[in-house]
Amino acid sequence: MTTTSTATSSATSSGQAYAGAPRSAEHRLSMDELAAVIARDIPAGSFVNLGIGQPTKIADHLPADSGVVLHTENGMLNMGPKAEGDAVDPDLTNAGKVPVTELPGAAYFHHADSFAMMRGGHLDVCVLGAYQVAFNGDLANWHTGRPDDIPAVGGAMDLAIGAKDVYVMMTLFTRSGEPKLVPQCAYPLTGVGCVSRVYTDCGVFDVGPDGVRIRETYGVSAHELAEGLGITLS
Amino acid sequence: MTTTSTATSSATSSGQAYAGAPRSAEHRLSMDELAAVIARDIPAGSFVNLGIGQPTKIADHLPADSGVVLHTENGMLNMGPKAEGDAVDPDLTNAGKVPVTELPGAAYFHHADSFAMMRGGHLDVCVLGAYQVAFNGDLANWHTGRPDDIPAVGGAMDLAIGAKDVYVMMTLFTRSGEPKLVPQCAYPLTGVGCVSRVYTDCGVFDVGPDGVRIRETYGVSAHELAEGLGITLS
Amino acid sequence: MSRAEIVESADAAVAGIEDGSTVLVGGFGLAGMPFDLIDALIRQGAKDLTIVSNNAGNGDVGLAALLAAGRVRKVLCSFPRQADSWVFDGLYREGKIELEVVPQGNLAERMRAAGAGIGAFYCPTAVGTPLAEGKEEREIDGRKYLLEYPIRGDYALIGAHLADAMGNLVYRKTARNFGPVMATAATTTIVQVDEVVEPGTLDPEAVVTPSIYVDRVVQVAARHYTVQGAR
Amino acid sequence: MSRAEIVESADAAVAGIEDGSTVLVGGFGLAGMPFDLIDALIRQGAKDLTIVSNNAGNGDVGLAALLAAGRVRKVLCSFPRQADSWVFDGLYREGKIELEVVPQGNLAERMRAAGAGIGAFYCPTAVGTPLAEGKEEREIDGRKYLLEYPIRGDYALIGAHLADAMGNLVYRKTARNFGPVMATAATTTIVQVDEVVEPGTLDPEAVVTPSIYVDRVVQVAARHYTVQGAR
């Protein structure tokens, strides 16, 4: 079902000559399946921040005995699942302002302490959504750059540079078929060279100073994927 | 018993031509009497840090209804009196490492928070001992500068620049009769222009950018004192 | 600061806030938002305000109501735009309000610096991004940093859970968020709480905001708003 | 950091500390001093250490015993000399130990910066004094500041009151002092506590050091030393 292969970015890739999304779309992972893949890769006992949106799904796939401790940047460690019914407390939300619960061994702290924890490199893993990721690990996930768009960064830039490993979770292609893993981000950056791994519906990639490397593919060959993204298999 | 007069420092005072201590030594205040004078001058409801040594005596003279809250830089607000007998707890000491007690409404915090509180200008008054104070408010109270002396600064430099008002409590003359309120400190500085008032056994002085001004004298006339210190009454 | 004053009403608590003030407003979304103080500030009438807060108002209440009343000249915040920020969005698109976007951690740390007497600090957040524009960059031990300056408030309006009569505060869960930092960064800190208790009631080991940072406290009847469509 | 490990003995807790390490040692005088960990470190034998602590040892126990054993190359502290610092005094006068005096607040804030990912900060303390020598000075808004850099530890040895099995810590009274800051500033934080309790026992609102900062915890029998002439 998955194939593993290796590619490095071509320094001369044009950056615009994309072939569009691979055709075998039915074999791509759903976001829920992808969340399970990421959950599998998070080491037991890690301290983890899951970004707003799709990454929050990862929590549902962490084994009960994983010992993973979730951080939410609005001031809590050992956050529990989403709160339902009577458990909803307006004073207890996650960073997406969704009511959540508290697990035994939780701790609360204020915003400066919470971001000191992130910025100081104490979190093991942070998983974020993205508009675009560059082969070198640059991240764009806060602003489309459209003139009529109201910019809003939240904690994205702090998260991007804070954790020991920053993973991105996203679809590999936009709805119109443009790759989101690119030689260079066209959107305004959130952080420079900060992403180490990109999890997508079509495959998993390592990115960084040495360029991009395909780790796994879903419903598409590494060769097809490399071609679609304009990267050179080594 | 006290006289009030005004003097400003002569910009041209030689700095070395001291006349020695005034003769009427029997009218000087004891350190305990001086502590009472300082306690009288601390506004009700102030947050106050009392330095190690003589300044700790001031606490004994604060009226019970003064509402003054004592800070100790090793991490506490609303410190109570010295602990005696069974009340001694090795986990509860003041900055001089003397066992103390806790009053209702106390709060504990760590060292970075404690010094942030001082450095951020939140304390109303800090009272320190000194080797020397200059007419412009320079303070020397941490190091004699002797080559065989082991330097030890503790929190002195942080306290010196932190409180809204830094008062000094000291004898006005050394045992050998040299003034400790001087045109310029000979000892290594603790802080620049940081002292606003100097309480001594012979009198009370305002110091600062506009020079020295005599507020009160004890057992000596303002004229005598000015002469003894080499300052010019205006 | 001298001892905190316990006042009788939210209106008394916000008395004297001048036109043109910089006001730090606690809360992360609705959690910790000092609704009663903001409502009182609207009644009080101060205008031309600069507001520092994580968001730029949610729904039609709290900060959003203050914005809608036309009292705010400028907002410094990390996340102005979200599903329920229609009041801010409208004012911004009409050019009726200034916006300075500050990364959330920098917002917190810059206020902490103001409260802690730090003149400026080198922070790795936002290096190489559009928000680095105009900021001094410096490499330290092989890593790049931007120089960030303190954000000070004339006033802080925050919500807490309990205060003792001296002004010591404890919070509830993630409603703590910016409150303790803002309390240190403002000249005058004004707090609404669910209850004022006697000194000695709060565990001194668990006090989050020591009394020295608190100037005025008011006990309010009900802190939680339920807002259709707002969160 | 991954989940804290609860170890069986102080010797297990300090295993692996390498020669030449920088070790942050908690305590203000005897309050909060991690005596059992230091005694274990003496048995463990690591040498050529740089110690960061408020004092340079009191009496003949704790840090003073480590110094007396000849394991320490350099001390960074605010207050080395006091009535009961005879061990340090002797070594220093014989030229057998290096000393760097750091104002107490800078010691705390520089470790906080290390833990908080701050590259450097401008601090008003020590401007115009001999301790400003060699430091970059900068005027900001009419006030002078010195540029201060983080102090990082390879290890922190601290004492706390209670830990839960996840590593969350609470302290007792002024024994808290440098512990929470050092826990954030070291690669590996080792804690001795009076008791290890179940997760869920500590009030999450009152946790002072969250588990993320703690690597190894050991419960020790008796934490308080009574030392003739030492304080």
Q: Distances from the Cα of B84 to the Cαs of B93, B196, D226, in angstroms? A: 12, 35, 16
- Number of Cβ within 10 Å of residue B122's Cβ equals 21
Nearest to D184, CA basis, from D152, D216, D159: D152
B77/B71 Cα distance (integer angstroms): 4
Q: Amino acid letter at B22? A: P
Give the pLDDT confidence score for residue C2 in this predicted structure.
61
CB contact, 8 Å: A116 with chain D? yes
Residue B216 in domain: yes
Tell me: the pLDDT tens digits for D97-154? Answer: 999 999 999 999 999 999 999 999 999 999 999 999 999 999 999 999 999 999 999 9
Determine which of B168-172, C76-80, C207-211, D221-225 has the lowest per-residue pLDDT on average. D221-225
Tokens 């043109």 belong to which residue?
Answer: C20
Measured CA to CA in angstroms, residue C157 lies from A118, A140, A193, C43 at distances of 26, 34, 38, 15
- Distance of alpha carbon C182 from alpha carbon C124, whole angstroms: 22
pLDDT score, position A24 = 56
Q: In the structure, what pLDDT confidence band is assigned to residue D224 with cuts at 50, 70 and 90? A: low
Touch test B–D: 3 Cβ pairs or more under 8 Å: yes
Chains adjacent to C (≥3 CB pairs closer than 8 angstroms): A, B, D
Asked if A94 and D90 touch (Cβ cutoff 8 Å), the reply is no
Question: For chain B, which residues score pLDDT lower than 50?
Answer: 1-20
Of B129-143, B195-209, D20-34, D211-225, the poorest mean pLDDT is in: D211-225
pLDDT single digits (tens) A207-224: 999 999 999 999 999 999
Helices C104-116 & B111-119 angle (0-180, nearest 10): 70
pLDDT at A187: 96
For C5-102+151-219, which CATH class? alpha beta
Please count the other Cβ atoms lying within 10 Å of the Cβ belonging to residue D179.
Answer: 29
Q: Does residue B13 contact residue B231 with C-beta atoms inside 8 Å?
A: yes
Tokens of A71: 């951080």
Q: What is the pLDDT of residue C29?
A: 85
Do A159 and A191 touch, CB atoms closer than 8 A? no
Cβ distance C116 to B119 less than 8 Å, yes or no, reads: yes
* A45, A212, A221, B203, D204 from A66: Cα distances, Å: 6, 29, 32, 70, 21
**Assigned token pair, A3:** 């194939």
Q: Is residue B234 part of a domain?
A: no
CATH of the domain at A185: 3.40.1080.10
The Cα-based distances of D151 to A116, D52, D182, D187 in angstroms read 15, 9, 10, 12
Q: How many CA atoms lie within 13 A of B200 on its CB side?
A: 28
- Model pLDDT for residues C129-160, shown as the tens digit of each residue: 999 999 999 999 999 999 999 999 999 999 99
Measure CB to CB from residue C31 to each of A90, A152, A189 and give the nearest one: A90
Per the domain annotation, does A16 fall within a domain? no
User: Rounded to an integer, what distance in angstroms lies between the CA atom of residue A105 and that of residue B225?
Assistant: 65
SS3 for D16?
Answer: coil
Report the range of poorest mean pLDDT among A198-212, B161-175, C214-228. C214-228
Signed CA dihedral, B119, B121, B126, B129: sign only: positive
Would residue B15 count as lying in a domain? no
Give the residue numbers spanning the domain of A194.
Answer: 24-229
Sheet containing D137-140: give its strands across: C137-140, C143-148, C120-123, D120-123, D143-148, D137-140
**CA distances in angstroms from A147 to A151, A152, C128, listed in the order given:** 10, 13, 20
Q: What are the tens digits of pLDDT across the range D173-205?
A: 999 999 999 999 999 999 999 999 999 999 999
pTM metric for this prediction: 0.94
In 3D, which of A71, A78, A73, A77 has the Cα closest to residue A111?
A73
Radius of gyration, CA atoms only, chain A: 18
Per DSSP (E only), the strands in chain B are 2-3, 7-8, 47-50, 69-72, 76-82, 100-108, 125-128, 132-134, 139-140, 165-170, 181-182, 197-200, 203-206, 213-218, 232-233
* Residue B51 phi, psi (nearest 5): -65, 165
Query: How many secondary structure helices (H) and strands (E) does chain B include?
Result: 4, 15
B121 to chain C, minimum CA–CA distance in Å?
7
Query: Do the domain assignments include residue B46?
Result: yes
Length of chain C: 231
Residue A164 included in any domain: yes
C117 neighbourhood in chain D, CB within 8 Å: 123-124
> What pLDDT does residue A147 have?
83
d(CA C62, CA A230): 50
CB atoms within 10 A of CB A25: 12
Question: Which residue's structure tokens are 């740390």?
Answer: C109
pLDDT grade for A21, boundaries at 50, 70 and 90: low
**What is the average pLDDT value for chain D, to the nearest integer?**
94
When pLDDT is cut at 50, 70 and 90, the band that residue D84 belongs to is confident
Contacts of D112 in chain A (CB under 8 A): 116
Neighbours of A221 (CB within 10 A): 15
pLDDT tier, D230 (very low <50, low <70, confident <90, very high otherwise): very low
Burial D62-76 (b: 16+ CB within 10 A, else e): bbbbbbbeebbeebb
* Residue B78 included in any domain: yes
> Does any domain span residue A17?
no
The pLDDT, as a whole number, for residue B26 is: 66
Mean pLDDT calculated for residue range C21-30: 95
**Chain D residue whose CA is closest to A67:** D3
Split into its structural domains, chain A has a count of 1
- Cα B154 from Cα D178, distance rounded (Å): 14
* φ/ψ (deg, to 5) at A182: -130, 160
The full DSSP string for C20-59 is T-EEEE--BTTBT--HHHHHHHHHHT--SEEEE-SBS-BT
As a whole number of angstroms, the distance between CA C91 and CA C77 comes to 15
Q: Which residues in chain C have Cβ-Cβ distances shorter than 8 Å to D135?
A: none
Q: Return the SS3 of B162.
A: helix
Q: DSSP letter string over A32-53? A: HHHHHHHHHHSPTT-EEEE-SS
User: How far away is chain C from the Cα of A121, in angstroms, using its nearest Cα?
Assistant: 11
Could you tell me if B121 lies within 8 Å of chain C, comparing CB atoms? Answer: yes
In sign, the C-alpha dihedral spanning B57, B60, B63, B64 is positive
Structure tokens, B115: 């010094």
Amino acid at D177: N
Gap from B140 CA to chain D (nearest CA, Å): 9
Q: Is B73 a catalytic residue?
A: yes
Task: With beta carbons under 8 A apart, name residues in chain C contacting B101.
Answer: none
Indicate the residue of A105, A121, A124 with minimum beta-carbon distance to D168. Answer: A105
Residues contacting C40, CB < 8 A, separation 6+:
C9, C10, C11, C13, C14
